[in-house]
Amino acid sequence: MAITRRDSLALGAAALGVSSIPIIGAHATVDDVPTADVKPPEYKIEQGASLDMIRPAKFVEPDEVYWKKNTEEFSKKTGVEVKVDFLSWEDLRPQLAVVANTGAGADLFVSFGADPHIYADKLVEMTDLAEYLGAKYGGWYDLAMLYGRKWNTKNWLALPLGGGTGPVMYRKSWVNEVGYNEIPNDLEKFLDLCQKLQKSGHPFGMSLGHALGDANGFSEWLLWTHNAFVVDQNGKVALDSKETIAALKYATELQKTMIPGTLTWNDVGNNQAYQSGAIGMTFNGVSLYYSMLKSPDPKVNAMAADTQVQDTPYGFSTRKPMTAAPISAMLFKHSKYPNAAKEYIRFMMEKDQYGMWLSSCLGYWCQPLKAYSKMNFWNSDPKLKPFSAALDSPFYDGYKGPISSASAAVIANYTVVDMFASVVTGASAPEAAAKQAARAAERYYKKA
């Protein structure tokens, strides 16, 4: 079993849930989302329709509470019964493979990243719905379009619902102490900051071990800040480049400033280290901040107050070199009630439902539609700010190539992570590691 970042979030959320859920049943309207006047598509709900949906399990309490509440409202309004299964994250992909390959089971399936692209031929396109929502809610973010649409087309394979990201989290007082007001965007300065933090006993820490979310995110950041990438626009492996070598050398210097043992961390390693005060800076999702904020220990609450959040340094990149992991709703061709399904998703994405869900999820999910970034709750806490634009990034797993099963396999097999890990520990020379990783990546891309 593996503890993921989400598990630790769940722990924090358990405490959080109690205080933050408003009274259920009170029908609230959301009035801080600017909308354009667009006529909704008319989906004629089939006679006797009912829907089965599978989606990822909650990791913050309100996620499930509000999803269910909104679903009940849909059923009340339309008479369509919707059965929602919340599936643990490890079980999601095997289950999706079964549903897709047998052509039976759930009508709607919410899953991660590249999945809609892997099962593209089994899905009903959502183009009409996506265009309507985009027009009404200020357009889709880049990442939503990248993951939602078929590569290089305007056809929507699935409807992105949200995503999460991991910006820099740091202890304000400790960073100030070594002479920095904020996290510098320049890589040399960032390295200098890390060196100074190490000297002052509050080092930086980020995993290059087999931590699925954290280590892949961190190694992608290292690549993108140096303008390196795994594949080019045509899906040809381009990892073995001078930019990658530069990233590897930079990572080696950065590693020297880190707390020992980061290579053994899984996704909760940095959360624990940060919360215990062992490190002064890391990259992480909002979960870490909230679990500290809601901790029963006042000392930990004080740490949360001293925490600041900022986008990861840009380096040589012109846009935020950090991706987000979006979840998208897929509608299967085997569904007997495609209209009911589309109407359900439309209902869930409208502001009265989606706005409630989003604002209650406290930045754990971030909106794929731009208008939702205007919601007041994003300004309620300055630390939430970087999360409000999680999907506003051109970077994705497998950048710059097409999104496919190959890009997913490179992530799952830690191909890039291991390249960095073997170099920063001195086990391989940068050139040899880049060649080896490129060869491994080529195998997946050749198959796809």
Partner 1 sequence: MSTTTSDVGLQQLTFVRKPDGLVTRLFDYKPFLVFLCMLPTIGLLVVFLTYPLGLGLWLSMTDATIGQPGEFIGLDNFLYLLEDPIFWMSVTNTIFYTTVATAGKFVLGLWLAMLLNHHIPFKAFLRAIVLLPWIVPTVLSSIAWWWIYSPQFSIISYIVVDVLHLKDHYINFLGTPWPARWSLIAANIWRGIPFVAITLLAGLQTISPSLYEAALLDGASGWQKFRRITVPLLMPILAVALTLSVLFTFSDFQLVYAITRGGPFNTTHLMATLAFQRAIPGAQLGEGAAIAVSMIPFLIGATLLCFFGVGRRKWQQGEAND
Per-residue mark of binding to partner 1, 45-74 (x: CB under 8 A)? ------------------------------
Per-residue mark of binding to partner 1, 92-121 (x: CB under 8 A)? -xx--x--xx----------------xx--
Residue 408 is a binding residue for partner 1 (CB under 8 A) = yes
Shortest Å, Cβ 118 to partner 1: 5
Residue 427 is a binding residue for partner 1 (CB under 8 A) = yes
Q: How far apart are CA 63 and CA 59, in angstroms?
A: 7
Identify which range of 245-253, 270-278, 334-342, 372-380 contacts partner 1 by CB under 8 A. 270-278
Q: How far apart are CA 11 and CA 14, in angstroms?
A: 5
Q: How far apart are CA 254 and CA 265, in angstroms?
A: 16
Shortest Å, Cβ 119 to partner 1: 6
Shortest Å, Cβ 247 to partner 1: 16
**Is the peptide bond prior to 172 cis by the omega test (within 30 degrees of 0)?**
no
Q: Nearer Cβ to partner 1, position 331 or 408?
A: 408
- What length is written for the chain? 448
Shortest Å, Cβ 93 to partner 1: 7
Residue 425 is a binding residue for partner 1 (CB under 8 A) = yes
- How many Cβ atoms from other residues are within 10 Å of residue 446's Cβ? 10
Per-residue mark of binding to partner 1, 118-137 (x: CB under 8 A)? xx------------------
Can you read off the two tokens belonging to residue 52?
A: 């089965």
Q: Nearer Cβ to partner 1, position 233 or 276?
A: 276
Identify which range of 152-160, 293-301, 393-401, 402-410 contacts partner 1 by CB under 8 A. 402-410
Q: Which of 15, 278, 300, 304 binds partner 1 (CB under 8 A)?
A: 278
Burial class (CB in 10 A: 0-12, 13-18, 19+), 359: buried
Residue 259 is a binding residue for partner 1 (CB under 8 A) = yes
| Residues in 206-245 that interact with partner 1 by CB under 8 A | 208-210, 212
Identify which range of 12-20, 226-234, 246-254, 413-421 contacts partner 1 by CB under 8 A. 413-421
Q: Which of 126, 169, 222, 263 binds partner 1 (CB under 8 A)?
A: 263
Q: Nearer Cβ to partner 1, position 45 or 412?
A: 412
Q: Nearer Cβ to partner 1, position 381 or 442?
A: 442
Helix (H), strand (E), coil (C) string for the chain? CCCCHHHHHHHHHHHHHHHHCCCCCCCCCCCCCCCCCCCCCCCCCCCCCEEEEEEECCCCHHHHHHHHHHHHHHHHHHCCEEEEEEECHHHHHHHHHHHHHHCCCCCEEEEECCHHHHCHHHECCCHHHHHHHHHHCCCECHHHHHHHECCCCCCECCEEEEEEECCEEEEHHHHHHCCCCCCCCCHHHHHHHHHHHHHCCCCECCCCCCCHHHHHHHHHHHHHHCCCCCECCCCCECCCCHHHHHHHHHHHHHHHCCCCCHHHCCCCHHHHHHHCCCCCEEECCHHHHHHHHCCCCHHHHHHHHCEEEECCCCCCCCCCCCCEEEEEEEEECCCCCHHHHHHHHHHHHCHHHHHHHHHHCCCCCECCEHHHHHCHHHHCCHHHHHHHCCCCCCCCCCCCCCCCHHHHHHHHCCHHHHHHHHHHCCCCCHHHHHHHHHHHHHHHHHHC
Residue 300 is a binding residue for partner 1 (CB under 8 A) = no
Identify which range of 26-34, 91-99, 183-191, 344-352 contacts partner 1 by CB under 8 A. 91-99
Shortest Å, Cβ 9 to partner 1: 18
Q: Nearer Cβ to partner 1, position 76 or 299?
A: 299
Per-residue mark of binding to partner 1, 7-36 (x: CB under 8 A)? ------------------------------
| Residues in 191-210 that interact with partner 1 by CB under 8 A | 208-210
Identify which range of 10-18, 186-194, 266-274, 330-338 contacts partner 1 by CB under 8 A. 266-274
> Which residues lie near partner 1 (CB under 8 A)?
1-3, 93-94, 97, 100-101, 118-119, 208-210, 212, 259-266, 269, 272-273, 276, 278, 405, 408-409, 412-414, 417-418, 421-422, 425, 427, 436, 443-444, 447
